[in-house]
Amino acid sequence: MNDINSTGNPFLDSLRLPEQSKTPEPNNNQSLTQDDFFSLLSQQLAYQDPFKPVDNDQMIAQMASFSTVDGIGNLNKEILNLNQTMSSSQALQASSLVGRKVLIPTSSGNVSATNPELRGVASTTSPVETINVRVEDSKGQLITTFEADGSDGGNIELKWDGKDKNGNPVAEGEYTLKASGIVDGETQDLPVSTYAHVSSVSLGTAQTGAILNLAGGSAVKLSDVLAVSET
């Protein structure tokens, strides 16, 4: 049976347009590859106006633009791989801090049976004859007070033995050190940092870097550590 669309002339039939155009497979990646670019360029050259061909400079500019975009994409991949490698290396180095104490920029610290004392640092830009320290629990209630010598100025070591005003050990939990002293004839609050016990290290992300997990459930970025204690 003959095709109803056939003319009977093989030459004319060979010139006939296809009944259905082929639909290209969808690109789930939604991004042009180098092969896609050259395919588009070939189509552009094939269907260009013969009286107004594509200028050589324009073609070179298009190729240069694609090469630049492709190079930036590859550079981004290399930077991502480098960040991942640096994060892993940083976490490996930070693992040496497990079991040690680090000084972090917070006035609160954890007291437990294994860490019954709370140490910190009060910072002052000028000598303070006497630094008064208040110890408060997580509810803001006063537990005890003690004094520290701040006559040398700078960073003054603070140490609380973990006992209340009656000399009894306090319950486990978070406690805050609040320091104050007379500076230029006026009582001023002094910034306090505390030491925390590092229990483990997490890898983190390229943005955060290694994360130090502290006793009591809190965590801090390695970049936020101010100092490391020997004990």
- pLDDT tens profile 178-211: 999 998 888 999 999 999 999 988 877 767 778 8
Domain over 100-196 is classified CATH 2.60.40.4070? yes
Asked if 157 contacts 123 with a C-beta cutoff of 8 angstroms, the reply is no
What's the Cα-to-Cα distance from 215 to each of 19, 120, 148, 172, 218, rounded to whole Å?
Answer: 74, 15, 26, 11, 7
pLDDT at 201: 86
Asked if 108 contacts 214 with a C-beta cutoff of 8 angstroms, the reply is no
pLDDT at 125: 86
pLDDT lower than 70: segments of the chain? 1-38, 40-67, 69-71, 73-92, 206, 231
pLDDT at 145: 96
Asked if 144 contacts 135 with a C-beta cutoff of 8 angstroms, the reply is yes
Ordered DSSP codes for the chain: ---TT--S-HHHHHHSPPSSPPPPPP-TT-S--HHHHHHHHHHHHHTS-TTSPPPHHHHHHHHHHHHHHHHHHHHHHHHHHHHHHHHHHHHHHHGGGTTSEEEES-SEEEE-SS---EEEEEEESS-EEEEEEEEEETT--EEEEEEEEETT-EEEEEEE-SB-TTSPBPPSEEEEEEEEEEETTEEEEE-EEEEEEEEEEEEEETTTEEEEEETTS-EEEGGG--EEE--
pLDDT at 203: 77
Closest to 200 (Cα-Cα) out of 102, 66, 120, 69 = 102
pTM for the full predicted model? 0.61
Exposure of 200 in the CB half-sphere (CA atoms within 13 A): 6
Domain boundaries, the chain: 100-196
pLDDT at 71: 66
